[in-house]
Chain A
Amino acid sequence: MAIMSFIFVFFFFSSLQPILSLYEDQVGLMDWHQQYIGKVKQAVFHTHKTGRKRVVASTEQNIIATLDLRSGEIFWRHVLGPNDVVDGIDIALGKYVITLSSGGSILRAWNLPDGQMVWESSLHGPKHSKSLLLTTNLIIEKDNSLIVFSNGRLNAVSCIDGEVLWKKDFEEESLEVQQVIQPPGSDFIYVVGFAASSQFETYKINAKNGELLKHESTAFSGRFSGEVSLVSSETVAALDSTGSILLTISFHNGKISSQQTPVSNLLEDSPGLAVIIHSSVTGIFAIKTDAATIFIRVIGEGKLEVVEKTNHETVVSDALTISEGQQAFALVQHAGSNIHLTVKPAHDWDSNLLKESIKMDQQRGFVHKVFINNYIRTDRSHGFRALIVMEDHSLLLLQQGAIVWSREDGLASIIDVTTSELPVEKAGVSVAKVELNLFEWLKGHVLKLKGTLMLATPEDIAAIQYMRLKSSEKSKMTRDHNGFRKLLIALTRAGKLFALHTGDGRIVWSHLLQSLHKSESCRQPIGLNLHQWQVPHHHALDENPSVLVVGRCGPSSDALGVLSLVDSYTGKEFSSLRLVHSVAQVIPLPYTDSTEQRLHLLIDADKHAHLYPKTPEAIDIFQSEFSNVYWYSVDDDNGIIKGYALKTKCSGNVADEFCFDSRELWSIVLPSESEKIITTATRKLNEAVHTQAKLIADQDVMYKYISSNLLFVATVAPKASGEIGSVTPEESWLVVYLIDTVTGRVLHRMTHHGSQGPVQAVLSENWVVYHYFNLRAHRYEMSVIEIYDQSRADNKDVWKLVVGNHNLTSPVSSYSRAEVITKSQSYFFTHSLKAIAVTLTVKGITSKQLLIGTIGDQVLALDKRFLDPRRSVNPTQAEREEGIIPLTDSLPIIPQSYITHSLRVEGLQSIITVAAKLESTTLVFAHGLDLFFTHYAPSRTYDSLTEDFSYALLLITIVALVAAIFVTWILSQRKELQDRWR
């Protein structure tokens, strides 16, 4: 008995240190981190000075970044946040990066070498308007100045300290300023725009003091459509709102003269609606119609001439001044699998400064943007490099007809992630081939041994570390015993699918989905989610696993759906379908057919259910489980949750035997004046629960209420759905529900008075943890609800179990009256959250930890035991032994338990946990702008030797032991012999 209690106490104490932290030398062994910047919107080169050549880019994810022009690495980057949209960037004084953001109201200067902010000034104005940034070399009061037009006000801002030197308001209500122009070498500025869409206005302004020199306006019979293109510093080209008449307007010396040319005069065939392309090449502008891109040259007084008409997808860059009075621009055209980069001088269309053809990966799609830069070649001629942004959001630098570097910035906007197993290691492939040879293996182990015995020199230590980091073991393309090697399949917003290897994060394959490609029938395709379509494991091992990509043609939920099936080993899209119905919900069913294809039920906007795959076998399988299929829908806007079951085959349209009507089984209507749904959470479908019973302190058993149909819903007062602090505590409340989604029973309902969203929640096993803001306490809180089944509670009697008089093995039905009890508790928590997840292990034996994505873009692990509703101020001895932590009012943040250690996952969006085959370990993938992957063992790796375990030392110990046994044996033999001879 004493031994038992000793062992118990030993285990208790050993479990008292649940925090697993990394040692410095373990960084990078299991984890990898990748940084991205997103789709580039604007890029400015900085190559004048000697030293590191850079490019400054602003992206659609509101990032300012400088990249190394030689390698594409990030020097520095700043995330400006979701509401701080970058309007324009430029480089001033050769050392500051100037950014205009937040609708033109914030102007910032960053130091180019290190990215530190130098100054920030906020610009406000009388009305909302287009924002334009213009860097000039004007010197006002000895300061270099910037001209910024934003919010209906023209500002001249000093480059040195951001001080506003002068400002001029354009308060006329209907005025839409289109361009701010400074003719080179002059000290005045033109502000041109439209008033009431039909009047052309020019303002000539003294650049030194903002004084209005001249104001002219002319009326035009039609209406202007949006953009204008600058043809020269005193001429603009515009289109009317019908898209059929071209206008060239010159305002030389303030005198406006305009010329109208119907587009049909320039082109023989009627081109349809034309749009003007924004460019700044002198003398040439471009319009784009449905079929072609047309380049038009302006000759003299408003005479137009078509110089080229291209039918390919063509992208044109802004003009680049290469020498005094000479401008060049780049054109990129597609031709088969190649792209043609052409650089032309602005004054002469027919000559080329550069013409290159570059082989381009088909999986990158079309070129979306091109930025050019020039340099002086060794032979003193002009060389050009081009930065191009592709359809899949990747960024490439082209120089001398080759791709210098490329960045997969599509990975900055991941929509959904799933995993796939790697192929099984074939019998023919020996380990030695993949491994190092025996000598190197031995050498490695000798080095390790030296390291363990602390005999290693610093060089040896470096060699050991290198060996560990570059271990070929972790990046092999085969399945491993522990299930650490997998493929992470990620769908990005650009409609591209990436497969990342979990070992080192490299891209195994990537595929631009044809089904999510813009086309006539599908104008605005968006990817929705990914599902595992086929996971072969038993009798279909020859098949490759595949994933299902679900998308729809347009942002509204009743747009038609698209499906495609992608082989997860090769990335080939082997099937793609345009659906005739919309996709509101995708339900993976727990049934698979003989080739291990999972059945999926797609619910459309009219609540019809469609079964996929459309095979007779699938329908046979489905028919047998027909009456057991239930689903629910949450209507956030109306506050209605409804449950459905299947009814019959679809009526109406012609015999579609894979379509089913649904019937409404239950509904929950939340009063719209007092509750608004903000968050829902469900259990992960693949979560395993090891035991249903929970042993509590006094040898008592509680049965967890484990149902995969549990739905957590959080609602707030409609008033309180805004920002924190917009309402008083009396006006705000948070109501949480636990709902059974088969019967619509509300199992638990609880109100937090004086609390407010945003709510982040995670549901696992029989508990839910959620995070919200408590207005009364002015702090964030996390609450836990645990739900226990009382109907099984009387199975505690051992005799009942022995006789078999218990209901533990009887199937659970949702239609039985749920006798549940809930326990809950709230704790203060310091951080606000971006995401929350829970560790997932293969059998669910390992204790759980919460993974919290903090506001600082890190992932923090928090033991679930801290969020135990049974914590009390003074736990009894029995409770302490069980592992109950004494009650505290706030949850501890332990610095060692940041699993991202020193790294940050910028713009963290979600944390995905995947079970490895090893029970102790869970694979964690966090994504946002950056990607981070690591292995995490919530209760340490109790089921395997650590990675730094020295087998050589063990071997030597064994050899030494055996030797010692022999020596002592021989010694004793000899001794005995001597004794006998005596």
Chain B
Amino acid sequence: MKWVKVIVSFILTLSFLSFPSCAFQSDELLVDDEEFGLEGAPQHRSPEPIPTRSPPVTSPTRKRHSDLDSDSKIQFSLDHAFGDSDFSPAGTFSARLKTWSHGGQTLTKLRFSRNSFSDVEKEKFKNLLESDDFYRIRLPSNVLNPPGRDFIISSVKARCLPRESLDEHFVIHMEGVNVLAVNYGSPGSCPYPRNLKLPAKWSFSSHTVLKNSEQAPRAPVFTEEILGGENAEGEVVQPAERSFWAKYWMYLIPLGLIVMNAITQAMNMPEEQATGQVPAQGQPSAGAVRRGPSSAVRRR
């Protein structure tokens, strides 16, 4: 019992010790580590990434993980354009670059700080809303030496964004340090007859998700169950031999009906003969009806 107590108290102290440090990471979910830290071993990754929600203001940088040599901080910018205008800076993504022992590099702990709209931009955005035009964003295709080969462009109809504030949702598909594609749009639905709606607040609430490739499921390998598999196949392999019944059912059913009809006729005939001679007890009314006229005839 004493041992148990000691252990419990130990755990308690540990948890109390660790809790303040957790609280210290105000805007960074611990899930991040699990979520984005294991990309080097994608087979263990859960397929459903959990979105990180970051506030629109730039968060202060911290140096807690600086003891890990292989990590370095990088930043890359998000540009936007209104309709066909030129691209201008709209925000910054910051992330940790993790170098793995096997040489691969991945990004973790992606955070996003969005510049708020200037008045000119607000006006431009309003114009977009009115004309139901595209709001376009772009990212470099390589985060280490931007822009890489080309920019990754994505666009959305501007009317999809406004809700309470301007809601946007990024899904960034990455392969190592390369950005392959970005899905950009509203976090919810955007039904087709898009109505003009101005946002109540001119600030962005951004959700970002980083996605890496999933591992495809392997073909199942059977060693012992091969027999079972063959049986299952064999079940299907059965040649589609058309049976006699399948071929001639349309004749057999009428034939059956005739036969049945004939049988009932045959059954009825002796019965009727019987009723004609000796009225059965079960059919008194019929007997009565028949007897009526016949007796009349006899009377005559």
Contact = CB atoms under 8 A, between A and B. Distances in A.
B191 A826 contact: no
A976 B286 CA distance: 14
Contacts of B185: 743, 745, 815-817
A675 B141 CA distance: 14
B139 to A, nearest CB: 10
A17 B214 contact: no
B222 A889 contact: yes
A685 to B, nearest CB: 20
Nearest to B134: A665
A667 B150 contact: yes
| Central interface residue in A640, A670, A828, A889, by most chain B CB within 10 Å | A889
Given A665-B134, A954-B250, A824 B149 contact: no
B233 interface: yes
A816 B213 contact: no
Contacts of B179: 669
Nearest to B221: A889
Contacts of A828: 219
Contact of B153 (A667, A745, A957): A667
B213 A750 contact: yes
B49 interface: no
Contacts of B217: 824-826
| Central interface residue in A736, A744, A783, A818, by most chain B CB within 10 Å | A744
A201 B276 CA distance: 124
B190 interface: yes
A81 to B, nearest CB: 30
A781 interface: yes
Contact of A813 (B192, B222, B239, B273): B192
A971 B262 CA distance: 11
A896 interface: yes
Interface residues of A, number: 76
B89 interface: no
A20 interface: yes
Contacts of B173: 746, 749
A20 B221 contact: no
A954 B213 CA distance: 62
Interface in A772-786: 774, 777, 781, 783
A664 interface: yes
A667 B152 CA distance: 5
Contact of A815 (B160, B215, B221): B160
A971 to B, nearest CB: 8
Interface string B170-201: 01010110111101011111111110000000
Contact of B134 (A645, A811, A961): A645
Interface stretch (B8-16, B70-78, B224-232): B224-232
A827 B84 contact: no
A653 interface: no
A743 B154 contact: yes
A753 B218 CA distance: 9
A123 to B, nearest CB: 44
Interface string A658-670: 0000011111111
Contacts of B214: 748-751
Contacts of B254: 957, 961
Contact of A669 (B150, B216, B220, B258): B150
B236 A666 contact: no
A744 B254 CA distance: 62
Nearest to A968: B265
A800 B215 CA distance: 37
Contact of B176 (A663, A667, A671, A889): A671
Interface in A874-918: 885-890, 892, 894, 896
Given A16-B235, A751-B213, A744 B181 contact: yes
B263 to A, nearest CB: 12
A651 interface: no
Contact of A21 (B153, B236, B240): B240
B237 interface: yes
Interface in B136-150: 136, 141-142, 148-150
B295 interface: no
Interface string A672-683: 101100000000
A672 B148 CA distance: 11
A127 interface: no
A230 B150 CA distance: 58
Contacts of B276: 979, 982
A975 interface: yes
Contact of B152 (A668, A750, A827): A668
A741 to B, nearest CB: 12
A815 B152 contact: no
Contact of A640 (B150, B186, B213, B228): B150
Nearest to A17: B240
B272 interface: yes
Contacts of A664: 153
A794 to B, nearest CB: 12
B277 to A, nearest CB: 8
Nearest to A19: B240
Contact of B183 (A743, A964, A975): A743
B141 A669 contact: yes
B53 interface: no
A810 B258 contact: no
Contacts of A278: none
B155 A669 contact: no
B211 interface: yes
Given A743-B185, A979-B276, A752 B154 contact: no
Contacts of A781: 219
| Central interface residue in B154, B173, B180, B273, by most chain A CB within 10 Å | B180
B261 interface: yes
B238 interface: yes
B242 to A, nearest CB: 9
Nearest to B257: A961
A817 B156 CA distance: 11
Interface in A6-26: 16-21
A666 B132 CA distance: 17
A669 B218 CA distance: 27
A701 interface: no
B136 A665 contact: yes
Contacts of B186: 815-817
A892 B251 CA distance: 37
A749 B150 CA distance: 21
Given A645-B134, A815-B156, A889-B229, A979 B272 contact: yes
Given A17-B238, A671-B175, A777-B219, A811 B191 contact: yes
A735 B214 CA distance: 9
Nearest to A665: B155
A972 interface: yes
A381 interface: no
Contacts of A774: 219
Interface in A600-642: 627, 638, 640
A697 B169 CA distance: 35
Q: Nearest 10 pairs between A and B by C-beta?
A: A816-B189, A745-B183, A811-B192, A671-B178, A888-B229, A826-B219, A815-B190, A668-B181, A669-B141, A751-B213
Interface of B: 42, 84, 132, 134, 136, 141-142, 148-157, 160, 169, 171, 173, 175-176, 178-181, 183, 185-194, 211, 213-222, 225, 228-229, 232-233, 235-240, 250-251, 254, 258, 261-262, 265, 269, 272-273, 276
Given A745-B181, A753-B216, A774-B219, 16 more contacts: A16-B236, A21-B239, A668-B152, A745-B183, A813-B189, A815-B156, A816-B160, A817-B190, A873-B225, A889-B221, A890-B219, A892-B236, A892-B237, A957-B254, A961-B258, A975-B269
5 contacts: A17-B240, A666-B181, A667-B153, A670-B180, A825-B219
Interface of A: 16-21, 627, 638, 640, 645, 647, 663-672, 674-675, 735-736, 739, 743-746, 748-753, 774, 777, 781, 783, 791, 810-813, 815-818, 824-828, 873, 885-890, 892, 894, 896, 953-954, 957, 961, 964, 968, 971-972, 975-976, 979, 982
